[in-house]
Amino acid sequence: MKKYTSVILLICSLHFLAAQHSSVDILRDWKFSNYDHGAAFQENFNDADWEHVTVPHDWAVKEDFNFTHDIQLTMVIQDGETTPKYRTGRTGALPYVGIGWYRTNYTVSATELEENIELLFDGAMSNAKVYVNGAYVGARPFGYISFHFDITKFLKAGENTIAVRLENFNSQSRWYPGAGLYRKVSVKKRNKTHVKTWGTFVSTPQITNKKALVHLDLEVVGEGKCTIFNEIIAPDGKKIAQNSKDISLSGEAKLSENFKILKPQLWDIKTPQLYTLKTSILKNGTAVDTYTTTFGVRSIRFELDGFYLNDEKIRFKGVNMHHDFGPVGAAFHKELFIRQMKKMKEMGVNAIRFSHNPPAPEALDICDEMGILAIDEAFDEWQLGKVLNGYSKHFDLWAKEDLSDMILRDRNHPSIIMWSIGNEIMEQYQHDPNKITSYLNTIVKSLDTTRATTAGFNSANNALESGMAATVDVAGFNYKPGIYHKIREHYPTIKFYASETGGSLSTRNSYKFPVVFDTLQNQRGTSVHTELYADGQPGNYENTNVPWGYAPYKEFASQEYNDFVYGEFVWTGYDYLGEPSPYHTAKSRSSYFAPVDMVGLEKDKFYLYKSEWNEDTEVLHFFPHWSLPEMKGKKIPVVCYTTYDKAELFVNGKSYGIKTKNKPAIPEFLATDIKKEASGGTTMAQLEAYALVWEQVIYEPGEAKIIAYDKKGKKVAETRRVTAGKPHHISVKNETQIIQEGEVAVYVVSVVDKDGNLYPHYNKNMKIEVSGAAQFLASGNGDPTNVQNLSKPTRAFFNGQAVIYVQSIAKGTIVLKTNSEDFEGTNTTVIVK
């Protein structure tokens, strides 16, 4: 026993004192060209006149909007179409189609060439072909997947040239896909004996309050005798478990180890505790490779009555998230994803469905750190395509490898609870003739049995009748609140959740009168009389929706009535570039669905979700704003989203009475036939179940005030809106005070009156000037119809506001100046450390 202890201590000391041969270099500096230079792969190609860019980089988002870029003749079955129609703006009206070349230099020593060198792409959009020193290394068509190549044999001592050719095709996407090396690119240098990339899998098969069993599956590659040393580090940084094993390698080997953790700190939504497993490979007492794996100790169960995390039933309060950051495009910035997730957490979100492809790996790191459940989704198409040049072109050749790599890369993230193998796949309508559901499900199970498989089905009856919904562990149904009870009645063993919900449209601070809800449905259940406004601004009363969509209230009611449904994922958390449904004309280039607009500013329904989902705060929010000169003397509805029991509205001191929510015991919209799948439209009664509504309020300039009361009638809160005075100045507010070099800072710019009240009718242009420690990156205003170039320092205000993004380039103070024809605004608050 003493001998064993001394060996362990020796290994520990060597582990920390020996020189580490593993290193990772991030390749940030590249040269770029949009022209298809046929010889650009060659080592000595002259790229002197190419553009210098920093990766992650999205070249298409920097260009002008033009609706001729993305005209698609297509038939959208989901919209009930039976013949193809022309659509514009579907992929964001940006020129993402075309070829992009990237070149960079990378230096290695002769000593390093004796080891193993790997080139890793977190994502490249799309159809990547990779060359090193003029030699072809490999290709990967799928733009969302991470991939890597061993490039050791292609390298030479000294300077090397890495070249990447990317090509996007017309009609390859249903939304804006981005273009270029839009995620991180890195080079990993390590000993020839090493842990394989994505070569660890940590699971926690047994958990009690007293201890947890941690299981490690490990893949290593190399030659000769070595010692595998593993240690587990607790969230507080203390080492709590370790073991070692002597092995003899001849190529690849797979190992398994078990550990015990006493009094484990569980990963959950409120306290997302993270452990680290550090694997070291030692030869002759020297550590030649180290590999760290972050993991969480948590249990998940999928039962007929719901989803359980650590034996506690959790209802999904989820949103779908596309991969772009609005004006910044698809280039991944960790700090911007953190910004999105903070906003979603404030709203009460506990789960994300990454729609409809694998996210950047850092996005999952952030979900781990913030305690957000995640669904990792692989495909939007299988063999049958939705668009002419979509993933169906690659499915037969690449689906197994792409799905496998997604799981291998991501399966240590405790945030991931389900693997989604597809979204609204067209095979539903043919009852999956090639049994692809089973094929993909089997691939997942060969790599991970600790999580559930799932898919998002928009044709519930086809998915149920064909057995597709039963093949996955947990089915997702899109836009089906009217038939959840019928699904359980007819298919009592199916476990399911609402993978997409909503479909009502809104734009920030826009209001349209009169407010009329579309209560009529056709036989299929879709709306028939939803009004589309000519200016592309549908308002904020959630009374405009896509044909198959509905306001949030309907989903809330159905989820409460059907408490066996696992929860919902709203379409979407943030608005995104592309899919301006149902505004398919050349007026709009981004979506309308989310409670938060494309630049991160809240619409009114943000507070509806917050009042229903965020259990840690009180909410008292009402609309419209009180600057509506065209409505003077006319009747308007006033709506209040609140957590309080009841409230009273006053306009210039006049009471309009006390209101409470009016929830029926059984939702009136429940279908009597499972075949009536669509749930389009909403009613005023459904609104009044989840909001306080004063329907006939005479608008008068001045003050509108709401006082909230508790059950005993005691005043507990108050909020007010006033009619804004004349626009007086520009307010420039930074969202963060300190950022790191290279990071992005975000500013909210508002035109306000002399008292600081937002003036919601100011829509003039402003010019933007950035100096000091940053440079201008992008700007936007949340208006789906605004087609100003996102990357030029000019922006129109939209209903009084806009958002500016700047990227730091040095340490120091950022100076941001804005000016319109009327006002100037300056901010010197943000510091780059």
Q: Which residues are catalytic?
A: 424, 500
Are 744 and 777 in contact by the 8 Å Cβ rule? The answer is yes
Name which of 197, 183, 56, 53 is nearest 123 in CA terms: 183
Query: Helix crossing, 334-347 with 361-370: angle to 10°?
Result: 40
Q: How far apart are alpha carbons 347 and 364 in whole angstroms?
A: 19
CA distance 777 to 199: 37
Residue 71 Cα distances to 106, 296, 800, angstroms? 40, 46, 32
Helices and strands in the chain, H and E counts: 11, 45
Query: What is the Rg, in whole angstroms, of the alpha carbon atoms belonging to the chain?
Result: 28
Q: Give the end-to-end CA distance of the chain in Å, rounded to a whole number.
A: 51
Q: For tokens 């549908």, name the residue.
A: 538
SS3 747: strand
d(CA 694, CA 636): 8
**In what helix (H) or strand (E) does residue 649 lie, and over which residues does it extend?**
strand 646-651
614: helix, strand or coil: coil
Q: What H or E segment, with its residue span, contains residue 654?
A: strand 654-660
Do 127 and 142 form a contact (C-beta atoms < 8 A)?
Answer: no
Q: How far is CA 359 from CA 322, 378, 486, 541, 702, in A?
A: 9, 9, 34, 32, 48
CA 796 to chain centre: 27
Residue 527, phi-psi category: left (phi > 0), alpha (psi -120 to 50), beta (remainder) = beta
Q: Which helix (H) or strand (E) holds 5?
A: helix 2-17
Encoding tokens for residue 618? 């009180």
> Would you say 552 and 502 are in contact if contact means Cβ atoms under 8 Å apart?
yes
**E strands, 773-811, where?**
774-780, 794-796, 801-808
Q: Are 425 and 444 in contact (CB under 8 A)?
A: no
Instruction: Give how far Cα 573 sits from Cα of 420, 568, 590, Å.
Output: 18, 12, 14
Contact call for residues 725 and 757 (beta carbons, < 8 A): yes
Transcribe 10-58 into DSSP letters. Answer: HHHHHHHHSPP--EEEE--EEEEESS--TTTTSTT---TTSEEEESS--
Contact yes or no for 297/212 (Cβ under 8 A): yes
Euclidean distance between CA atoms 683 and 483, whole angstroms: 18
Query: Minimal CA–CA distance to 745: which of 311, 333, 364?
Result: 333
Cα atoms in the 13 Å half-sphere on the side-chain side of 783: 22
Treating both helix axes as pointing N-terminal to C-terminal, what angle do 395-410 and 361-370 enclose, rounded to 10 degrees? 40
